[in-house]
C-alpha cells in the first residue's frame, strides 16, 4: 500500500497507441479486458435478441385460444430455450461478463483483470456453450423441452430422449465454468488490483455489487454444475440419482437446482442494482445516499439468498414452510433499504433526465411492483394459490426484466460513451424508454390478472371459454411494444456507429475512475489517476469545493479535502463546466491523456502488492 | 435535516405500519373483500387463502404507493431547471432515518409473517375423520380419482387428454372429474405415476405437486356446489396444456347416492390393484 501523499506532478508523454493485431485476429487473440468485455456485451445482446424473438413467437401463439402458430412440441422448446438463453446466456453474462469485465478494472484503476488469459477462456467457453445450446434446435429431437428448470424425472432419458437436451446440459456446464472463472477473476481483481488509495469503502457501488455477485457465483454455480453432472449420469450411464425406480430421489434435483437458482436471481440482479445506483448518483449530482448501508444491504441480500431456495418448492409438500417463508420475507428488508437509499440519492439533487437516468428511474418504478408481488409469493398459502400460474410469470418477468433490461439499458447507455467514445442519440433513447416503459405494463399487468384468473404457465393453448382471451391479447400487444422499443435502441446503436458524436472523457460529470481516462480507454487504461480520497475521485477532482458532507468526518480531519483541492487544476474545472452541460461535447484537446501527475499503471500495482 | 423534513419522516414512520394493519384487518374482518381478480375460494381453505391474499395485496399497494410517491416527488421536485448549473448539497447520510427505514420493513414483514403462519396452519390442517378419502394420481397426461366406498371397493374414474382422437370435438365432459361433497372435509392423497405434475384447482386457491416418490395429503371442505375447471399447472411434457380436469361439488346426500351409483357403473378395482405406470 502506498502512502496517501499526492504524487509529484510530472509530464508523461502518452506512448504510441498499441500496435498489436486488429480486427478479427485481435478479437480472437486478445486478453485485454476491454476487448473481452465488449465481445461479451455484444454476444450477450445478440442472445437477448434471439431469446426476445422466441418470446414474441410465444406471445403470438397465446394471443388466441387453441392457437396453432407453433405445435405444442415447438412451443415447449421455445419457452425452454427462451428461459435458458435469457437467464444463462444473456442476463448473467451481460452483467458479469460484459459490464464487469469492461468497467470493474477501470473503476478500481487497474490495467486489466487479474487473470487475463482465464478471462479470455471464460469468453470462449461462454460463446461455445451458447452456440451448442442453440444448435439443439437442429437435432432430430429438437432443442431441450423440459423448461429451463429441467425438473427430474421429466429431464431423464425416458421422458426427454435425444441430443437436444444433452446439448443443453453440456452448454450449461460450459457457461457455468465460464461464470465460475469470471467470478474468480473479479474477486482477485477487486482484492488485489485496486489503485493506491482505493480502499474497500471507497469503491463504487457497482464494483461492490460485482464483488458480491462474484462471491455468489462461486457459491451457486458449482452446485448447478454438480447437479448437471448427476443428470448426465442418470441419462447416460444408468445411475438413478433422480429416479424412484432405482432408489433415487427426484425432489433432490429441485433442491440442488434451486440452491443454485435462487442465488442466481441475485447474481442477475445485483450488478444492475449497482449500475443503477451509480447512474442515479451521477444524474442527481450527488453522492450515493447511505453508501455503507447500501453495501451492507447488498451483502445481506447475498447472504439471505443462499437460504431461501425452497420458496420455489412450497407446493412440493417436502419443505419446512415457515423457515423458508421468513427468510424470503427478510430479503425485503435490505431491498427496502436500497429503495430508500435510491430515493435519498435523488432527494434534493439536481436531476437531469438523459436516457440512462430515465431507464434507472424506470427500473425503480417497475422493480418495486415486482418486489411487492414477490412478498406475496413468499407466503406459502398465497403461493399455493398462485404457484405455476401466470402470476408467477408476471412477477419474475417484472423483477428480471425490470433489473436486467431496464437496469441493463441504463448501464449500457450510461457506459456507451466509455465503450465506444461516442454518444448515443438521447432523443431515440427516450423514445425507446417510453415504448419500453408503457409496453412493460401492458405486457405484464394482464399476466398478473391471468394468474389470478387461474391460467397456468407453460401451456401452449387454452380453451376459449376460460375468459383468458382478452387479457392474453393485451399482453401480446405489450410484447410487440417491447420488441419495438428494442428495435429503436438498435437503430440508435446503428446511428451512433454511422454518424459518430464524439464523447469527451467524462460526458456525464461522473464520479468514478473510469471517467478519468479517455473514451475508449487506451490499452493499459490509465496514463493518469486522480488522487483517491473518497468513493468519488473524479468528482473530487473536478469539484474540489463540493466534497461529501459527512456527519462524522473521518479521523484524518479534512486534509483529504485540502489534498483534493491542491491537486485539482483550475483549467480542468473550467474545461469540465462546458462538458457537463452540453451532451456530447468534445474535449477540445482531443482524447485527454493530458498528463497531470506521474504514474504509469504498472507502477501503481507494484505499489499495491 | 431541517425540522420540517424530520417531521415528515416521522409521520411516514408512524403511518406506514398502521396502514398495513388497517389493510390486513379489513381483509380479515370483512365478508366482502376485494381479491383483485383472484378467487374468493369455493372451499374453507381457499377462503382463508383468499383473505390473506386480499390483505397482503392491499398492504402491498399501500407500501408501493408510498414508495412510488416518494420516487415521483423526488423526480418531479428535484429536476434540474434550465440554465441552473448549481451543485446541490452533497449530503450522504442520516443515521436515524436510515435506522428507521431498516426497522420499518422489518416490522411489516414480521406482521405479514404472523398472518401467513396462522393461515398456513389452517390450510394445511387435516382432520382425523374426513367424510371421504380420494386417491388422486397424476400421469402423463391425465388424472385418476379413486374413491373408497363403504364396502371396501375402490371406484376409479379416469379421463383422457383432448388430443386423443376419440376426444376431439368434445369439451369439458371428456376430462376426468373429481366429485366432492359440499360442507364435509374430503382428504386428498396425491401421487404421481411418472413425472412431476401439479394438482391445481383455481376455485379452491390451491395447488400441490404430484411427485414420484412423494405422497402429499391435504383436505378440501367445499362450501359451494358447482363444476370448477382445473388443470395440471406444473409443466409435465408434451401435452401438459391438455391435462385438464374438473371438480364437481354436490350436496352430501347427492354425493352419497352418486357413490352408490358408481359402484354399479364404474370400473371397480380390488383394494390392492397395482397402479399402472402410464
Tens of pLDDT, residues A233-272: 999 998 999 998 888 899 999 999 999 999 999 999 999 9
Domains along the sequence of chain A with CATH:
27-498 (1.20.210.10), 527-605 (no CATH)
Paired with B218 in beta bridges are: B188
Closest-approach residue (CA) in chain B for A389: B233
pLDDT at B273: 42
Chain A residues in contact with B114 (beta carbon < 8 A): none
In order of A416, A515, A591, B2, the CA distances from A519 in angstroms are: 9, 8, 7, 42
pLDDT tens for A546-582 read 998 876 665 554 455 545 544 444 444 434 433 333 3
In this complex, which of B63, B202, B213 lies closest to A249 when CB atoms are compared? Answer: B213
Distance CA A443, CA A130 (A): 27
What is the pLDDT, as a whole number, of residue A309? Answer: 93
Q: Which residue has the cell 430515465?
A: A358
pLDDT confidence band for B141 (50 / 70 / 90): confident
A147: Cα separation from own chain's centroid: 23
Statement: residue A591 has pLDDT above 50: no
Task: Summarize pLDDT for A9-56 with one digit per residue, the tens.
Answer: 544 555 555 556 777 888 888 899 999 999 999 999 999 999 999 999
Q: Considering only CB atoms, which chain A residues are within 8 Å of B212? A: 153, 243-244, 250
pLDDT band at B6 (very low <50, low <70, confident <90, very high): very low
CA dist A514 and A411 (Å) reads 13
Alpha-carbon distances of B189 from B41, B48, B88, B214, rounded to whole Å: 21, 21, 65, 10
Phi, psi of A352, deg, nearest 5: -110, 145
CATH topology of domain B32-124: Helix Hairpins (1.10.287)
Report the C-alpha gap between A134 and A80 in whole angstroms.
11
DSSP string, A330-389: HHHHHHHHHHHHHHHHHTT--B---HHHHHHHHHHHHHHHHHHHHHHHTSHHHHHHHTTB
The answer to whether the CB atoms of A352 and B64 lie below 8 A apart is no
Question: For B86-133, how does the pLDDT look when each residue is reduced to its tens digit (9 = 90+)?
Answer: 899 999 889 999 999 999 999 999 999 999 999 999 998 888 888 888
Quote the pLDDT of residue A67.
87
Task: Give yes or no for residue A601 having a pLDDT over 50.
Answer: no
The reported pLDDT for the residue numbered A325 is 94
Q: What is the mean pLDDT of residues B177-186?
A: 90
pLDDT of residue B28: 53
Third-level CATH fold of B132-265: Immunoglobulin-like (2.60.40)
Q: What is the pLDDT of residues A274-309, one digit of tens each?
A: 999 999 999 999 999 999 999 999 999 999 999 999
With a cut of 80, say whether residue B271 has pLDDT above it.
no
In angstroms, the CA B220 to CA B123 distance is 9
Least confident range of A119-133, A174-188, A363-377, B247-261: B247-261
Among B210, B216, B201, B227, which Cα is nearest to B140's? B210
Query: pLDDT at residue A142 above 70?
Result: yes
User: Is it true that the peptide bond before A153 is cis, omega within 30 degrees of 0?
Assistant: yes
Q: How many CB pairs under 8 A join A and B?
A: 282
Domain ranges of chain B: 32-124, 132-265
pLDDT for the residue A146: 92
CA A419 vs CA A270, B5, B248: distances in Å: 21, 41, 62
Tell me the per-residue pLDDT of A311-357, one tens digit each, with 9 for 90 and over. 999 999 999 999 999 999 999 999 999 999 999 999 999 999 999 99
| Interchain contact, A350 vs B94, CB within 8 Å | no
State which H helix or E strand residue A275 sits in. Answer: helix A250-284
- Chain B window 33-62: which residues touch A at a Cβ cutoff of 8 Å? 35-39, 46, 48-50, 52-53, 56-57, 60-61
The C-alpha atoms of residue B180 and residue B159 are separated, in whole angstroms, by 17
Chain B hits for A329, CB-CB cut-off 8 Å, are 109, 112-113
Which three cell numbers, joined as nine digits, stand for B263?
A: 359402484
Q: pTM here?
A: 0.86
Residue B64, Cα to own-chain centre: how many angstroms?
22
Return the residue matching grid coordinates 396425491. Answer: B190
Closest CA in chain B for residue A151? B196
Coarse DSSP helix, strand, coil percentages of chain A, rounded to the nearest 5 percent: 65, 0, 35
CB-CB neighbors (< 8 A) of B97 in chain A: 344
At residue B267, the pLDDT reads 56
Residues A162 and B20: their CA atoms lie apart, in Å, by 52
ipTM value greater than 0.90: no
Instruction: Indicate the average pLDDT of chain B.
Output: 80
* Cβ separation B120–A361 shorter than 8 A: no
pLDDT at residue B172 tops 60: no
Asked if B190 and B215 count as a contact pair (C-beta separation under 8 A), the reply is: yes
pLDDT value, residue A596:
40
Label residue B268 by pLDDT band (50, 70, 90).
Answer: low
Amino acid at each position: 500500500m502506498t502512502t496517501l501523499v499526492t504524487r509529484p506532478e510530472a509530464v508523461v508523454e502518452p506512448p504510441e497507441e498499441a500496435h498489436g493485431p486488429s480486427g478479427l485476429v485481435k478479437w480472437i487473440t486478445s486478453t485485454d479486458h476491454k476487448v473481452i468485455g465488449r465481445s461479451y456485451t455484444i454476444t450477450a445482446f445478440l442472445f437477448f435478441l434471439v431469446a426476445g424473438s422466441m418470446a414474441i413467437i410465444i406471445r403470438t401463439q397465446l394471443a388466441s385460444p387453441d392457437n396453432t402458430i407453433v405445435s405444442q412440441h415447438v412451443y415447449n422448446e421455445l419457452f425452454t430455450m427462451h428461459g435458458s438463453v435469457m437467464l444463462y446466456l444473456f442476463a448473467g453474462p451481460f452483467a458479469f461478463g460484459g459490464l464487469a469485465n469492461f468497467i470493474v478494472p477501470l473503476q478500481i484503476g487497474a490495467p486489466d483483470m487479474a487473470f487475463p488469459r482465464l478471462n479470455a477462456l471464460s469468453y470462449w467457453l461462454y460463446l461455445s456453450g451458447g452456440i451448442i445450446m442453440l444448435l439443439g434446435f437442429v437435432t432430430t429431437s429438437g432443442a431441450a423441452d423440459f423448461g429451463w428448470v429441467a425438473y427430474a424425472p421429466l429431464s431423464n432419458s425416458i421422458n426427454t430422449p435425444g441430443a437436444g437436451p444433452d446439448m443443453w446440459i453440456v452448454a450449461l456446464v460450459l457457461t457455468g465454468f465460464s461464470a465460475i472463472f469470471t467470478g474468480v477473476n473479479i474477486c482477485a481483481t477487486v482484492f488485489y488490483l485496486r489503485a493506491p488509495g482505493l480502499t474497500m469503502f471507497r469503491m463504487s457501488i457497482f464494483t461492490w455489487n460485482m464483488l458480491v455477485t462474484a462471491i455468489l457465483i462461486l457459491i451457486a454455480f458449482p452446485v448447478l454444475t454438480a447437479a448437471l453432472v448427476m443428470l448426465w449420469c442418470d441419462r447416460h450411464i444408468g445411475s438413478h440419482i433422480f429416479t424412484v425406480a432405482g432408489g433415487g430421489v427426484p425432489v433432490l434435483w429441485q433442491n440442488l437446482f434451486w440452491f443454485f437458482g435462487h442465488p442466481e436471481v441475485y447474481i442477475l440482479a445485483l450488478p444492475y442494482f449497482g449500475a443503477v445506483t451509480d447512474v442515479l448518483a451521477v444524474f442527481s449530482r450527488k453522492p450515493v445516499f447511505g453508501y455503507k448501508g447500501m453495501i451492507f444491504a447488498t451483502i445481506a441480500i447475498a447472504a439471505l439468498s443462499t437460504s431461501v431456495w425452497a420458496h420455489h418448492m412450497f407446493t412440493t409438500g417436502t419443505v419446512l414452510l415457515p423457515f423458508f417463508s421468513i427468510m424470503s420475507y427478510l430479503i425485503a428488508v435490505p431491498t427496502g433499504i436500497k429503495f430508500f437509499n435510491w430515493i435519498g440519492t435523488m432527494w434534493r439533487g439536481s436531476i437531469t433526465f438523459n436516457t440512462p437516468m430515465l431507464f434507472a428511474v424506470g427500473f425503480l418504478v417497475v422493480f418495486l411492483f415486482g418486489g411487492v408481488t414477490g412478498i406475496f409469493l413468499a407466503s406459502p398459502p398465497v403461493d399455493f394459490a398462485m404457484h405455476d400460474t401466470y402470476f408467477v410469470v408476471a412477477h419474475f418477468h417484472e423483477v428480471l426484466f425490470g433489473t436486467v433490461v431496464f437496469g441493463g439499458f441504463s448501464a449500457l447507455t450510461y457506459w456507451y460513451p466509455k465503450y465506444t467514445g461516442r454518444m448515443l442519440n438521447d432523443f431515440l433513447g427516450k423514445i425507446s424508454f417510453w415504448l419500453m416503459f408503457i409496453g412493460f405494463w401492458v405486457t405484464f399487468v394482464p399476466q398478473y390478472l391471468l394468474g389470478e384468473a387461474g391460467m397456468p404457465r407453460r401451456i401452449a393453448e387454452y380453451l376459449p371459454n376460460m375468459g383468458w382471451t382478452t387479457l392474453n391479447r393485451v399482453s401480446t400487444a405489450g410484447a410487440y411494444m417491447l420488441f419495438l422499443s428494442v428495435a429503436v435502441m438498435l437503430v440508435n446503436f446503428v446511428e451512433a456507429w454511422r454518424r459518430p458524436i464524439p464523447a469527451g472523457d467524462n460526458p456525464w460529470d461522473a464520479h468514478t475512475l473510469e471517467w478519468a481516462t479517455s473514451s475508449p480507454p487506451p490499452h493499459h487504461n490509465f496514463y493518469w489517476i486522480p488522487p483517491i480520497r473518497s468513493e468519488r475521485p473524479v468528482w473530487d477532482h473536478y469539484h474540489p469545493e463540493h466534497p461529501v458532507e459527512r456527519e462524522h468526518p473521518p479521523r484524518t480531519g479534512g486534509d483529504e479535502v485540502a489534498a483534493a483541492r491542491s491537486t485539482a487544476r483550475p483549467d480542468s474545472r473550467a474545461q469540465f463546466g462546458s462538458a457537463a452541460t452540453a451532451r456530447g461535447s468534445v474535449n477540445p484537446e482531443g482524447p485527454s491523456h493530458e498528463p497531470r501527475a506521474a504514474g504509469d499503471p504498472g507502477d501503481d500495482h507494484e505499489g499495491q502488492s | 435535516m431541517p425540522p420540517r423534513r424530520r417531521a415528515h419522516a416521522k409521520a411516514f414512520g408512524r403511518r406506514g405500519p398502521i396502514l398495513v394493519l388497517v389493510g390486513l384487518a379489513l381483509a380479515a374482518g370483512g365478508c366482502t373483500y376485494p381479491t383483485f381478480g383472484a378467487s374468493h375460494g369455493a372451499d374453507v381453505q381457499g377462503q382463508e387463502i383468499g383473505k390473506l391474499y386480499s390483505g397482503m395485496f392491499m398492504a402491498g399497494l399501500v407500501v408501493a404507493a408510498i414508495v412510488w410517491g416518494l420516487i415521483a416527488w423526488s423526480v418531479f421536485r428535484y429536476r434540474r431547471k434550465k440554465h441552473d448549473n448549481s451543485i446541490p448539497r452533497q449530503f450522504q447520510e442520516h443515521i436515524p432515518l436510515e435506522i428507521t427505514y431498516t426497522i420499518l420493513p422489518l416490522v411489516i414483514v414480521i406482521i405479514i409473517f404472523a398472518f401467513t403462519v396462522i393461515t398456513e396452519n389452517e390450510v394445511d390442517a387435516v382432520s382425523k375423520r374426513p367424510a371421504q378419502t380420494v386417491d388422486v394420481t397424476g400421469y402423463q397426461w391425465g388424472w385418476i380419482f379413486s374413491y373408497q366406498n363403504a364396502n371396501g371397493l375402490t371406484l376409479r374414474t379416469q379421463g383422457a387428454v383432448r388430443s386423443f382422437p376419440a376426444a376431439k370435438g368434445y369439451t369439458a365432459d371428456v376430462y376426468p372429474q373429481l366429485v366432492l361433497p359440499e360442507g364435509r372435509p374430503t382428504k386428498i392423497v396425491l401421487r404421481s405415476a411418472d413425472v412431476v405434475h401439479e394438482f391445481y384447482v383455481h376455485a379452491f386457491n390451491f395447488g400441490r405437486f404430484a411427485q414420484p416418490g412423494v405422497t402429499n395429503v391435504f383436505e378440501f371442505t367445499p362450501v359451494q356446489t358447482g363444476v370448477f375447471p382445473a388443470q395440471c399447472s406444473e409443466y409435465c411434457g408434451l401435452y401438459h396444456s391438455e391435462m385438464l380436469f374438473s371438480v364437481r361439488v354436490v350436496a352430501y346426500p347427492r354425493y352419497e347416492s352418486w357413490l352408490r351409483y358408481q359402484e354399479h357403473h364404474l370400473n371397480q378395482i380390488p383394494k390392492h390393484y397395482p397402479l399402472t405406470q402410464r
